[in-house]
Amino acid sequence: MSGSKFADRVLNMNISGIRKMFEAAGSDAVNLGLGQPDFDTPQHIKQAAIDAINSGFTAYTASPGIIELREELSRKFKRDNSFDIDPSQIIITSGASEALELAIASLVNPGDEVMIANPGFVSYNSLVSMMGGKVSSIPLDDELTIRPETIMEELSSKTKAMIINSPANPTGAVQSKKDMRAFAEIADDENITIISDEVYEHFIYEGEHVSPAQFTDNVITINSVSKTYAMTGWRIGYVAAKDEYTEQMLKVHQYVQACANSIAQKAAFAAISGPQDSVVLMRDEFLRRRNVLMDGLRSMGLKCVVPKGAFYAFPEVDDPTKVASDLISNGVIVVPGTAFGEMGDGHIRISYASSMPNIQKALKIMENVIAQV
């Protein structure tokens, strides 16, 4: 036997920069690094899971997911996102993470290029590389958004797909309706696929959420209940697309996962079909926290584009690796911008999905640390 016993595609991957920072800190640290709402899952959702357990709903479901959940999602897409999709064109997945894997695995051949915002969510780059694809970085503009003209400049004959994430992680940027329409036109004209990651769709403070599936069939829409309903640990996501896509994604899903967790699917149905008060409450609280965080950053003299959505801020700092390290030493977790791509250099990502007292405590520590850098 020659060479390594392990596959190159795994050896060439790095551990998530977000997880590295999380694991480097003590248990008492203020965690402004992990993108997880600090709210509890609403009671009616938990009760649906309890009822499912008590009724013995513990066997495999159909691979695409339970039909009542897919029917409810079909109505949700029509109501909230202004496009039609049949329940048969929806697959319930183990979180948006699996949905992303299904999309990229079904599209990307070795050597194919996938356009990704740089900085952008950490999973995109690694998943493309795992499938043998190549990442084509899309630089962001001064407002940390993707410009359609930049996509045209970066296109090549090998471009297979582009990933659009709005609201975006790590920047909190929200793409305009005009931009989304332009992305759709590019996808149609160039015969490439948009992978639209919409997991933060309900957390928008300025502007509106627009799904590119309003404008083109060349799109795979990905979402989950994780952020919207404070259900990160339940691991339920979903992917929606026309038949030509879902037929291929379902093959991968069947062999990788068989089906999503049966009990969590019942809980997700209760979340999407039930009262939405908790979503509004979280959105309003995140907005309040964002404003406090932005005031604190300004008082330190830090430049930061105001995030219009999600629950992340992406301020500019000198020597972000040292800042992040010093903050961890003082009990505050943030993530260096380079964890999201080399063009994130000069930034740190701060999650304000933490309590107001934690944010206020972190700002006081940060002020001292920044003053010494």
Residue 350: predicted pLDDT? 98
Per-residue confidence (pLDDT) for residue 24, from 0 to 100: 59
pLDDT at 27 over 80: no
pLDDT per position as a tens digit, 151-173 = 999 999 999 999 999 999 999 99
Whether 18 shows a pLDDT value over 90: the answer reads: no
Whether pLDDT at 23 is above 70: no
Range 8-40+277-372 classified under CATH 3.90.1150.10? yes
Q: How far is CA 321 from CA 171, 215, 359, in A?
A: 18, 41, 20
Check: CATH 3.40.640.10 for 43-273? yes
Nearest to 163 by CA among 133, 189, 183, 141: 183
Residues 6+ positions from 23 with CB-CB distance below 8 Å = none
- Model confidence at 192: pLDDT above 90: yes
Q: Could you report the per-residue pLDDT of 207-223, keeping only the tens digit for each?
A: 999 999 999 999 999 99
Q: How far is CA 344 from CA 137, 170, 341, in A?
A: 12, 9, 6
In this chain, the answer to whether the domains covering 8-40+277-372 and 43-273 adopt an identical fold is no
> What's the average model confidence in pLDDT over 139-154?
98
The domain ranges of the chain are 8-40+277-372, 43-273
Is residue 337 a contact partner of residue 119, using CB atoms and an 8 Å limit?
yes
- What is the pTM (predicted TM-score) of this model? 0.95
Q: Which of 4-8, 227-231, 347-351 has the lowest mean pLDDT?
A: 4-8
Query: Which of 17-31, 149-163, 276-290, 295-309 has the lowest average pLDDT?
Result: 17-31
Residue 372 has pLDDT above 70, yes or no: yes
Cβ partners under 8 Å of residue 212, min gap 6: 164, 180, 183, 184, 187, 194, 196, 219, 221
Per-residue confidence band for 12, with pLDDT thresholds at 50, 70 and 90: confident
* Model pLDDT, residue 222: 98
CA distance 175 to 184: 13
pLDDT one-digit tens code per residue, 290-303: 999 999 999 999 99
**Whether the Cβ atoms of residue 240 and residue 73 lie closer than 8 Å to each other:** yes
Phi (first) and psi of residue 213, to 5 degrees? -65, -10
Amino acid found at 284: D
Tell me which amino acid residue 343 is.
M
Tokens describing residue 357: 């007292």
3-state secondary structure of 110: coil
